Amino acid sequence: MHAVRGGEVPCGASLARRGVVCTHAHVVLQLMLRMHRYSTDPEHEFPLFVTGINVAAACMQALRYQRMNALCNRRCSVAKGFVQFFVALFAQWFTLYRRKQGTVEHVNTCLAEAVALSKDCMAAVSRFEKDQGTGATDAVGSISFTDLENKK
């Protein structure tokens, strides 16, 4: 629960369990579900968990080499900037993977291409939000695994 004047309002996760999902959180949730479905498709399967770890490693490298500074400063939070870039980079990878109708052999080459296209972290997040709707990465923190289970 988040405190507000005059009482408390349920956080995004509790609203999602009741069927009320913020538009932006819904966009990211739908993206995650599409990725999961695609990862289990017999023709295009890929190791979703391992790919997520590799995307996180690429984000850590961007953070380490200070390419995320502007993004984190604008968001006033390293964690928010990191998560927003993670979502944008993962979405960029997924787009490339689907366009190539990738198989497991294409996972790393598509990731290398996505990282190359996302050297400017602010631009990558802006591009994702332009494609998915402004603020699409803002609600990422309110999504939990229980929300994914409830949407099956």
Residues 72-109 pLDDT 10s: 999 898 988 998 999 999 999 999 998 888 888 889 99
Residue indicated by tokens 């996302």: 118
- Helix (H), strand (E) at residue 3: strand 2-4
Polymer length of the chain: 152
Range of the domain at 124: 2-150
d(CA 144, CA 16) in angstroms, rounded, equals 10
Query: φ, ψ for residue 68 (rounded to 5)?
Result: -100, 0
Higher-confidence position of 122 and 102: 122
Confidence of residue 112 (pLDDT cuts 50, 70, 90): very high
Domain total in the chain = 1
Token pair for residue 141? 């923190």
Confidence of residue 145 (pLDDT cuts 50, 70, 90): very low
**CB of 83 within 8 A of CB of 141?**
yes
